[in-house]
């Protein structure tokens, strides 16, 4: 049976843990406001850029556009024998199921592509460690980026886009899949799996990309030159949005996890305090009984 000293030590340690979890909750709550604002600012730009690229692509004459390097981004690489993955996870834990649900989706993708060569770009320490632990797969980490959360910026997205384009344009992979957590609300994060490249999958086949006619406009430079310049910027803007989504989702998940941990710590402290008081009461009652019994014996 635990002594009074053991219970007091445990109460003290739980109080210390509660202070840490509450501080982490408040830090995440302070950062989530800025992260939400960044998402709201980046989403319209990425969506509008995607619509513009879809419009330009549908206007291109195939004979003119097939000679452009940008054309390769819209079709799968026929000569490649590998598939690509961009896995975006967190750098730290203590954020509930944020990382575990994401890594489950990554494990499902790896299972589907078992037997193929796989090239992975890891963003976040958790994704890198997960991929490095895997054995028995034809798997290679082509690039890793860690330590950027919770201060992800466009420069990180630009570097990431350059490595994705290098992997795909170099003919290393047939396609590139993107797996990340999308910020839905303060209580909800959703794992998203989408085809980043080739662009045909999520631009030209999107419901709102029917393609408006732009032949009444004059372009300077020409359409295919403009499209070549816009595509890297679009991929960078889209990856920047994804990094912001993942960052906000991680902060929200950590805030909720730390709030639950603080509540559990409070409940545990209450239970331990009640147990401590009961033990003290029992000890006092025992001492009083011993005193009364001794007095009666002396009096008798």
Q: Which residues are catalytic, by number?
A: 95
**With contact defined as beta carbons under 8 Å apart, do 198 and 74 qualify?**
yes
d(CA 250, CA 90): 7
Please spell the DSSP secondary structure of 101-170, one letter per residue. HHHHHHHHHHHHTTTSEEEEEEESHHHHHHHHH--SS-EEEEEEE-S-TTS--HHHHHHHHHHHHHHHHT
Which residues touch 270 (CB under 8 Å, ≥6 apart)? none
Tally of residues, the chain: 300
Strands 139-145 and 176-183: unpaired
**Phi and psi torsions of 78, nearest 5°:** -70, -30
| Closest-CA residue to 170 (of 68, 72, 62, 64) | 72
């Amino acid at each position: 049976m635990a002594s009074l000293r053991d219970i007091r030590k445990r109460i003290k340690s739980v109080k210390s843990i509660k202070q840490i979890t509450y501080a982490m909750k408040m830090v995440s709550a302070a950062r989530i406001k800025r992260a939400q604002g960044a998402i709201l600012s980046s989403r319209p730009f990425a969506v509008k850029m995607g619509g513009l690229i879809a419009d330009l692509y549908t206007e291109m004459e195939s004979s003119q556009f097939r000679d452009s390097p940008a054309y390769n981004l819209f079709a799968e690489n026929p000569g490649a024998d590998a598939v690509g993955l961009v896995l975006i996870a967190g750098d730290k834990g203590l954020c509930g199921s944020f990382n575990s649900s994401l890594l489950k989706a990554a494990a499902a993708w790896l299972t589907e592509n078992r037997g193929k060569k796989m090239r992975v770009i890891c963003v976040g320490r958790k994704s890198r460690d997960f991929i490095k632990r895997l054995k028995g797969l034809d798997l290679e980490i082509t690039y890793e980026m860690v330590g950027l959360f919770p201060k992800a910026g466009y420069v990180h997205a630009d570097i990431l886009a350059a490595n994705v384009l290098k992997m795909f344009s170099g003919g290393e992979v047939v396609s590139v899949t993107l797996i990340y957590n999308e910020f839905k609300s303060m209580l909800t994060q959703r794992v998203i799996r989408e085809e980043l490249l080739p662009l045909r999958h999520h631009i030209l086949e999107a419901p709102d990309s029917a393609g408006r006619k732009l032949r009444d406009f004059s372009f300077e430079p020409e359409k295919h030159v403009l499209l070549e310049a816009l595509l890297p910027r679009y991929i960078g803007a889209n990856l920047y949005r994804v990094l912001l989504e993942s960052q906000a989702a991680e902060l929200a998940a950590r805030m909720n996890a730390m709030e639950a941990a603080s509540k559990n710590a409070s409940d545990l402290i209450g239970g331990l305090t009640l147990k401590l008081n009961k033990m003290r009461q029992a000890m006092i009652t025992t001492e009083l009984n011993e005193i009364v019994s001794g007095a009666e014996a002396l009096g008798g």
